[in-house]
Chain A
Amino acid sequence: MNSTSFERFHVRSETLEHGACAIAVQNPKARNSTFVLAIASGMRHEQPGEEGMMHLLEHVVYQDSVAISSSERQTEMNNIGAVMGGHTHMDYTEFYETALPSDLPGMVARVIEQVFHPAFNADQIKAQIHAVATERAQRLAPAPGGILPFPHLTCQFWDDYAHGHDGTGDETLFSRVSIDRLKDLHAKNYRPEQAVLVAFGPQDPSEMLRILAENMASLSFAESAQKFASSHRSQARQNEVKHQLMPVPGLATRRLLAATSAVHAQSISASLLGDLLVASLLSLQTGLDSSAGIFGPADLVENDLFILVDDTGLELDPAHRLRALTTVDDAVLGSAAKKALFAAEKSVHDDERLARTTARDMLLRGTPEFAHELVDQLRHLSDQTQQLRRLLESSALRLAAQPWHTISVAPTLQEVA
């Protein structure tokens, strides 16, 4: 019998001093090691007036910290050929480094120190507000009319503040950010007891856990005066359905952006599997792109959106497209299932992504096995045509019956005439 994809790894975990959760994932054949530190706060944890500050905070973490300047840190990383990354998601924020396995202790020490003890240098904060605003502008620029599902559809879909504000960050941060405000936000959200640390590599898991424990124990943490905000998830409130028309001068073709509620992804359900299949089938068609999640499938456990981007210029009602899916032939259904399987598998066959996914799933779902189970179930399904068809029909019809928000990005009326 084949082992599950999770059983291929040697995994150990423990709770460290200060309450952080540590996980070591060993693949003896790995040629790199990755260290991930993820905290259970993201854009949805921002309060009114804090729009974009969690993203800014992520950038500030890569500036000077109490123990080392950013240029010294960069030199350290350059010398060992390390690469790093950081991302602010809706419900969590992650920081990671990848380098040779022998450099794991340095990576762990570096990332833990910079995440928990940034120096909050005023000039660097200003520079990073520019960087955050530029990042936002560069992300939106290639999209027709500068409109993308995130943040435009997200803000339209949700009526409550936590889900419906734009957390990407722009130059209005200049008038809202102060060092004290960022320090408060950091103290409230970057707490060790809300952090998951994942070490991945060929090393013995016990040795990796020892490195994580030593580095966390060497840090001091002030007690947080501010308590973590009550769950933003319960605040979720959907807007009344809206259909916006956005005329854009000079646009060659129309684009329809559409969103509806995605199924909860706390655990794997038939609805989640069916939605992944539907998104995959839609994406197989020329001019269509679809995702069962605003930041990709299962990046959120609830209050996520199922997205359709239609560049065919036909502006068909998403419900019609979904109902039409139920007539696809078996060969196409099989192709879509394989594509969905590969998309899920990417989060575990890529070593760096595996470490990041493990941290995400531990934070959001309390288990490191979710992504592996998803791969196993999709793998099992991929040749079961009848089962695939049942899942497809159920999900496509359910999604078709749901209310859809749309933004139609279109040439101006004069240009159409």
Chain B
Amino acid sequence: MNASTLPILAIPDDRSLFPVLSLAWRTDPQHEREARELLAKGLAQSDRWGHPWRQITGDSGSMILTVAAEQPRLERWLHAVADESSRVKSGLVSKPMIAMVGKLAGAENLLATATDLCGAKSSQPMTLPSKMQQNSVEGYQRTLITGEDPIHHAGAAASFLALCLLTGGSWALLPKLVEDLGNAATAQISRNLIQRGPAITWQGICQGTGGMQVFEYLVHALPSQLKSIGEDQVQELKHFGLANLSRAWRSPTELAHTASQYQVMGWGPSLITDAHSELGRVTRDDLEHAMDCLLRPVLEVLGRS
């Protein structure tokens, strides 16, 4: 089997005596709580005396279960997971994606068991139509625009850096630009799963009814702001991005969880395993293209595509 198509992300790490497995499922927001409770209940029954460490998290359409235990126990546990998750209605969750962090020598059986359990990597990008929702509460209008995550068109690293440019570091463009607008306006962008595919959500809030003006301004101002950024600032941006991605390596459990999260959210797990070279390859053109892709849902709902 070609390693790049393996559904398991195996990361060698010798810091802990216990291998760490992280399993991630895609679900739907309306089923997230139900699926999480069912899995937790089933797993509690299947492993009466617990593991040395276990964590269940989930939001934005995903559920992540991370476990540290000695290898034979993990193998037994994986079989229990296979049983329990097969009892969870298939409509509730996808097949899991798996990340493993630990000493890989001698872990062949564990990896084989994990491979049997997981789903194949989704390689076909899903077409997600851009949508807008608006509502007003106590004189403030909230506008939500959802659409496709740019990762399939712009690549994982450029998409990540474009998002950093919008929201991270002291240069964060979004709050600065929106502050210029006045009118108590705010704008945010986040990544999530919609219909179990990678998506982005823009949120604009302003006083009165000027919700669309926020986005009109952003589609006009963001590309020109990006063009005015010098090469030094692009390097600073990459440094900032690298620091954020490298933080996952602080501990084996954090690494397994984050790798699993990048897998299930479709953000490109190679950003975690190989951040330095992934970010290093991003050119200025890549960054501009990624920004255009991030703005595409906004342009589409504005009728400018």
Contact = CB atoms under 8 A, between A and B. Distances in A.
A78 B49 contact: no
Contacts of B247: 32, 81, 83, 98
A122 B169 CA distance: 28
Q: Quick one: which of B49, B240, B242 has the most chain A CB within 10 A?
A: B49
Interface residues of B, number: 31
Interface in B33-67: 49-53
21 contacts: A32-B246, A32-B250, A78-B168, A78-B170, A79-B170, A80-B243, A81-B241, A81-B242, A82-B243, A284-B50, A332-B49, A338-B69, A338-B70, A339-B51, A339-B53, A341-B52, A345-B16, A345-B17, A346-B53, A350-B254, A352-B250
A175 B25 CA distance: 53
Interface string A68-105: 00000001001111110000000000000011100100
A100 B249 contact: no
A379 interface: yes
B68 interface: yes
Nearest to A337: B52
Nearest to B68: A342
B147 interface: no
A331 interface: yes
A275 interface: no
B31 interface: no
B251 interface: yes
A349 B169 contact: no
B18 interface: yes
Interface in A222-275: none
A170 interface: no
A335 interface: yes
Contacts, number: 82
Contact of A31 (B17, B49, B168, B246): B246
Contacts of B53: 339, 342, 346
B87 interface: no
Contact of B236 (A79, A331, A352): A79
A314 interface: no
Contacts of B250: 32, 98, 350-352
The 5 A-B residue pairs whose C-beta atoms are closest, nearest first, are A81-B243, A342-B52, A350-B251, A31-B249, A349-B15
B240 A379 contact: no
A353 B251 CA distance: 9
Interface in A99-135: 99-100, 103
